[in-house]
Chain A
Amino acid sequence: MTDNTENTENAVGTKSTEPVERHSYDVVVIGAGGAGLRAAIEARHAGKRVAVISKSLFGKAHTVMAEGGAAAAMGNVNPKDNWQVHFRDTMRGGKFLNHFRMAELHAKEAPDRIWELETWGALFDRTKEGKISQRNFGGHEYPRLAHVGDRTGLELIRTLQQRVVALQQEDKASTGDYEANLRVFAETTIVRLLKDASGRIAGAVGYYRETGQFVVFEAPAVIMATGGIGRSYTVTSNSWEYTGDGHALALLAGAALVNMEFVQFHPTGMVWPPSVKGILVTESVRGDGGVLRNSEGKRFMFDYVPDVFRKQYAETEEEADRWYDDQENNRRPPELLPRDEVARSINSEVKAGRGTPNGGVFLDVSTRLPAEEIRRRLPSMYHQFKELADVDITAQPMEVGPTCHYVMGGIEVDPDTQGTVVPGLYAAGECSGGMHGSNRLGGNSLSDLLVFGRRAGLHAAEYIDGLGTAGKPAVAAADVDAALEEALAPLANADGENPYTLHHELQVTMNTLVGIIRKPEEVSEALTKLEEFKPRRTKVGAAGGRRFNPGWHVALDLRNMLIVSECVAKAALEREESRGGHTRDDHPAMSSKWRQINLICSLNEDGSGIDLKHQPIPTIRPDLLGLFEVSELQKYFTDEELTVLGDSAEPVAEAKPAGEAKPAAEPEVKSEPATESKAEAKSEPEAKPEAKTEPAPIPGQSNGEKAADTAADKVAEKSTEKSATAEAEEQTAQAEAEAQTEDAETAAEEK
């Protein structure tokens, strides 16, 4: 089979005089990180011709930056581990807002995906028996992360890249053409998805970054695997590709985004020098003994332990220090509190004027471990600080502060097939939503992209098989014309505004107004600014021609960043509770009524902005709910919701009076999900046995919250210290719920 390219010929019948290259494939995968490559490999295994579109060079995707490992309950280190335990940990980490079916599939299939990766040649650290070693990680009950040193993501992407090369060499042997069935289009950016008259996916249009020439891909199935949105924030650990392309392209094509308000801020990013601000400092630093201090030299985290956590966290430095050697008889250091707690604490210290000269706090490992030990345990951090900041972490403390790290929200997909509401459109990895709920556990990202990348590839192939021979969707020439016109505008506007200026203003807006702590008036201000940015965006200009013109590329990326930012801000303003990666200053507690609600963003009718609506969260299957203690579920669910558990799992008696003991400071819930849902819930993607949702949500009293509060009070009695901040007190209910999650995210990196 040869490539059916029709070079430089306007072969799609467009009116534009632009030469447009044209390719035809079965599946087009947009994104060449872990999820995209895994999807492409699966579709190719299923006999499909596949194109992979990569914004950067092949093998440079953001996945390479993941350090910690991939979570999979293989039980190599602790045989007690299994998928049920992993499922529980994942749901707790996401505060039960996860799509249960995705969490279930993820937990069940992750081990197979890791073993498969190993047989493809991936390097892993090993146990004494020579099996894949697994490391402890925050929020994971047992050692669970398959890893290779602190470069697991690099090895993962390299292995998938190697697999692609191997398949291409197989194809060369059988067809004479390396790229007969699997071709990577490096440094190529997609600007629009294309649909046929009936609304099915028909392809995508984009441009080669090198030449600036346009290219149309005709394909009945498109898989989005474009990663995250961090470049809309000033301080981020994300690489330049993370402009929310997949989120925006899918939305523009009619798909929905779910729960975009949940953005994970990692507590420890570099803050100095300014040029490297945001680059991640692995949580292993704290796991291996690193402590946080303010400018007065005080180990301040002891002042921020919410009452409910006191039973698990040390009260003195002495006890905390003993924990590293004897975890049975001592409690954890407060530096290992859940990530949102630590990020908020750092925020408070800096705001109180006890920050470092550069606006962070000190993270010190130099006085904690011998220099040699630091270099051995934290080689990449040692080099990162030495080379980038000229800081010797064996002799000096680091300066750190929160950094935008991961978006839990994303394209709404069917949990089994990864299909969206747009026939033929699939999504996997960070750009899809649901799997991680309101907060992702470290280690669950690499496993996520393997599990759901494979599923997306598999089901895209099945979808194509179902189309038969006659049913291939056709690209409409007018749509291509419109896409070209939109994309060419900045070039024709050489005197327009500098796109970098607008990008910078957008970043500052999101960072300062829709950051870690959200205040409704600030989020509203951000939305006003975003409206002002929209017309400015259409007037930016990019001088310098077509070839590798980065100003032009940014001008085009801006559309996507603005769309995604509007989704984040709108959803953040709507959700009046604090949960996982969404903290509302005016609603500091978690609400079990809001737990029943997914916030869904879609394009409004005239395409000028975002519509937001409530949709009931799918009801968790009773057998999966049964994996938890009822007393734990009561912290998240209403009693009515828990009645589905039946006799076997009736709410425990002692929790009832607790629920009445004290009125909960519960935020009001704006709407009854039940009524919203019927009218507005988007029809879920088809072909989904599990599309289940519409569980007729029960609007009820939220006793779970109250129970949590009281439980918290009990714990507080034991405590000899008072909570240092009012904020901590307010968060009691939430914190108690989190207590189960333990150190939800304590250890190392997580992507």
Chain B
Amino acid sequence: MSTATVQEHVETSASGKAGIEMMTITVRIRRYNPEVDAAPHWVDYQVTADPTARILDSLHKIKWEQDGSLTFRRSCAHGVCGSDAMRINGKNRLACKALVKDLNPTKPITVEPIQGLPVLKDLVVDMEPFFQAYRDVKPFLIAHGNEPTRERIQSQKDRDRFDDTTKCILCAACTTSCPVFWADGQYFGPAAIVNAHRFIFDSRDDGANERLEILNDREGVWRCRTTFNCTEACPRGIQITQAIAEVKRALITRRVI
């Protein structure tokens, strides 16, 4: 480690950050209050924003300073809880991970609810159909035989097999970016399949066949048209389309590896 490098970093950092200028942006929000509105409509808000800030911050600013009734979900505010998935500039993202400067702030930034689920108010949708699909794939360990007194033994390799699909935060960004789901709300959708995958490929689980049969349904994995929308939308970087493909393969070969 050299001191010179550090100083360079310090300088870069100092000048780079101190030089940031606030800008005025337009946030175009799809508003809907069923108590007073016949239909959703767009409303433009001008806000001062730091380009390195997130769109969530602009939404907060609007709520705090311009319209306290603006409604959206958020919780942890850094991409772990999965509460604030929205369609921002036409793409599903978490508002807490979408930076203003990455959204072409010279034009109005559009923010609307994720698609395919009923809108309750403003950016809040009814997540119940989404969670129902999740529950339908039996998202819990199914293990026969005697319970161990301590832990089940699982090799690190076996545990790594399904690591990717355990990263899901149930934000619904994938499912509500899927054109098949938009057209057919009965489709399980990518998130439910991801959560089934998480158990199907868990070496401790004995319920793979049950789940595979559930996903063999007409509304199951075969509806997937491999558009990769879900993989692109996933804020956790889960290889969703691949996971779906692995479930399809397991259905064909009846082998879980």
Residues of A whose CB lies within 8 Å of any CB of B are 56-62, 64-65, 74, 114-115, 118-121, 123-126, 128-133, 148-149, 151, 154-155, 158, 162-163, 165-166, 168-169, 210, 239-241, 272-276, 279, 293, 295, 297, 321, 356-358, 362, 364, 366-368, 383-384, 387-391, 395-397, 399, 498-500, 504, 542-551
Contacts and interface: CB of A to CB of B under 8 A. Distances in A.
21 contacts: A58-B131, A115-B149, A119-B151, A120-B140, A121-B141, A129-B153, A154-B80, A240-B74, A276-B78, A279-B78, A293-B6, A366-B9, A367-B1, A384-B78, A389-B52, A399-B13, A399-B17, A500-B65, A500-B68, A544-B33, A550-B71
A371 B229 CA distance: 30
A328 to B, nearest CB: 23
A498 B122 CA distance: 20
Contacts of A368: 1
Given A148-B166, A151-B167, A397-B9, A551 B99 contact: no
Contact of A390 (B74, B99, B139): B99
B183 interface: no
Interchain residue pairs A-B with the least CB separation, the first 4? A544-B69, A121-B141, A551-B68, A130-B153
A165 B140 contact: yes
Contact of B140 (A121, A279, A297, A396): A121
A283 B167 CA distance: 22
B76 A387 contact: no
Contact of B54 (A65, A241, A388, A548): A388
B36 interface: yes
A58 B81 CA distance: 10
A118 B143 CA distance: 12
Interface residues of B, number: 81
Nearest to B14: A357
A356 B166 CA distance: 38
Contact of A295 (B1, B14, B76, B163): B14
A169 B56 CA distance: 36
Contacts of A504: 64
The secondary structure that dominates the A interface is loop
B106 interface: no
A545 B69 contact: yes
A60 B81 contact: yes
Given A64-B169, A151-B80, A275-B54, 10 more contacts: A74-B150, A120-B140, A125-B159, A128-B156, A129-B153, A131-B153, A364-B6, A367-B9, A546-B35, A551-B68
Given A275-B57, A387-B99, A362 B148 contact: no
Contact of A115 (B7, B77, B151): B151
B79 interface: yes
Contact of B2 (A154, A210, A367, A399): A367
**Chain B at the A interface: SS class:** loop
Nearest to B99: A390
B127 A550 contact: no
A169 B138 contact: yes
Contacts of A366: 9
Interface stretch (B199-207, B217-225, B249-257): B199-207
A507 to B, nearest CB: 12
B147 interface: yes
A384 B52 CA distance: 13
Contacts of A498: 64, 68
Given A57-B127, A154-B169, A274-B50, A396 B13 contact: yes
B202 A273 contact: no
A544 B80 contact: no
A399 B20 CA distance: 15
B55 to A, nearest CB: 10
Nearest to A187: B73
A130 B170 CA distance: 28
B50 A239 contact: no
A295 to B, nearest CB: 7
Given A115-B151, A500-B68, A123 B166 contact: yes
Interface in B1-45: 1-3, 5-7, 9-10, 12-14, 17-18, 20, 33-36
A547 B121 contact: yes
Contacts of B156: 125-126, 128, 130, 133
Given A125-B156, A274-B50, A548 B17 contact: no
A550 B151 contact: no
A499 B65 CA distance: 11
